[in-house]
Amino acid sequence: MTPNEAVNDSLSPEAGRQVKAAHRHMWALGDYHRFATTTVWQLGPVLVDACGISAGQRVLDVAAGTGNVAIRAAKAGAVVVAADITPANIEAGRRAAAAEGVQLEWREADAEALPFDDGEFDVVTSCFGAMFAPDHRAAAKELLRVCRPGGTIGMMNFTPDGIAGDFFRVLGRYAPPLPPGALPPVLWGHEAHVRTVFGEQLAEPEMTRRTYVETASSARDYCELFQQTFGPMVAIRGSLADDPDHLAAFDREFIDFVTRSNRGTTGDRVEIHYEYLLVVGRRRE
C-alpha cells in the first residue's frame, strides 16, 4: 500500500476495539523490556536530543513501552508522563525507572484516545509506538491535540523500505490480516503519509532517514531473542502451535531474513541495520 492509497475511513469502532484488545494482549507476551533494552534502547536519547527536551518541560511519551524515551526525558529534567496500552509494560517501566533513580508518571492509555487535556504538554514523543495504532489519522490528531500550540512533536517510525519492510513482510505472512480500514504501521515511515495524517497542523516538520544497528552473537541467538521476548512473534508462534509444518516454515523464513540482512563481518556475529524516519515538528499556533 502506498500513501496515496491509504484512506483510513472504513475502520469500524468494533474492529478498532478488537485490534486494540489484541495489541494489549500481544505486547504483554514474552518479555518486552528485555527485548527493548537489547534492541532499541539506544534510540531513547536520540529522540530526546532531537526534540530538545530539557529541564522543566512537560513531556508525554505515547506508546512508551517500558520507558525507552520517557526515562531518558526524565533524566534530562523534564516532567514526564509515559502512556502505554499494555499494563505489563507499565509495570516493567516503573521498575526500570526506579532502577535508574528517576520519577515519572505512568498511565494506561490508547494512542487514539489519550486521557489528557488539550495542549497539556510542551513535547509529545513516540518511538516505534503510535505507528502501531490502527487508525493513523486518529493517532495523529491526538498527538497534536495534547501538545500545546508551538510545542514539539517527535516520532521515530520504521520505514517500509529495505530491512524493516522485509521484517514486517515476513511476520505479516503468518499473522492474522488487518481488518478493513486498519493501516499498516510502516506507512508512518513514508514522508508523504506523515504530512497527510498531520495535515497543516504540524508546522515545519523535519524528516530524516536514519539507521540503527541491532546485534547478536549469532543468527540463532538473534532468532531466539525474538522468539522468547518479542510479543508479536510469540503470538504468531503460539497461533501455529497446532500446525508444526507451518511453524517450522515461519522459523525458517525468519532465520533466512536474519541471514540475508546480516552485515556482520566478524565470525558468527549478527549486525542488522534498520532504517527509520525521524520526524520532528511544531504544532502550529
Residue 127, pLDDT > 90, answer yes
Beta strand 121-127 pairing with 58-62: parallel
Q: For cell 516505534, what's the residue? A: 128
How far apart CA 181 and CA 70 sit, in angstroms, is: 31
Q: Is 270 helix (H, G, I), strand (E, B) or coil?
A: strand
Under a CB-based contact definition with an 8 Å cutoff, are residues 69 and 127 in contact?
Answer: yes
* φ, ψ (nearest 5 deg) of residue 54: -145, 175
pTM of the predicted structure, to 2 decimals: 0.94
Q: For cell 484512506, what's the residue? A: 7
Quick one: cell of 245? 509444518
What b-and-e string marks burial along 233-260, b requiring 16 or more CB atoms within 10 Å of the CB?
Answer: bbbbbeebeeeeeebeebeeebeebbee
Q: Is 64 helix (H, G, I), strand (E, B) or coil?
A: coil
The CA-CA-CA angle for residues 119, 40, 87, to 5°, reads 60
Q: What is the pLDDT of residues 194-217, one digit of tens each?
A: 999 999 999 989 999 999 999 999
Q: Which residues contact 282 (CB under 8 A, 6 or more apart)?
A: 150, 151, 152, 153, 202, 203, 204
Residue 222, pLDDT > 90, answer yes
Residue 6, pLDDT > 80, answer no
How far apart CA 157 and CA 162 sit, in angstroms, is: 14
pLDDT at 4: 47
Q: What is the pLDDT of residues 8-29, one digit of tens each?
A: 456 788 888 888 888 999 999 9
Q: Which residues contact 105 (CB under 8 A, 6 or more apart)?
A: 80, 81, 82
How far apart CA 246 and CA 229 sit, in angstroms, is: 21
How far apart CA 63 and CA 270 sit, in angstroms, is: 28
pLDDT at 3: 53
Q: What is the pLDDT of residues 137-157, one digit of tens each?
A: 999 999 999 999 999 999 999
Mean model confidence pLDDT for the chain: 95
How far apart CA 228 and CA 235 sit, in angstroms, is: 10
> 10-215+272-283 falls under which CATH superfamily?
Vaccinia Virus protein VP39 (3.40.50.150)
Domain boundaries, the chain: 10-215+272-283
Residue 5, pLDDT > 70, answer no
Under a CB-based contact definition with an 8 Å cutoff, are residues 276 and 128 in contact?
Answer: yes
Quick one: cell of 132? 502501531
How far apart CA 92 and CA 33 sit, in angstroms, is: 7
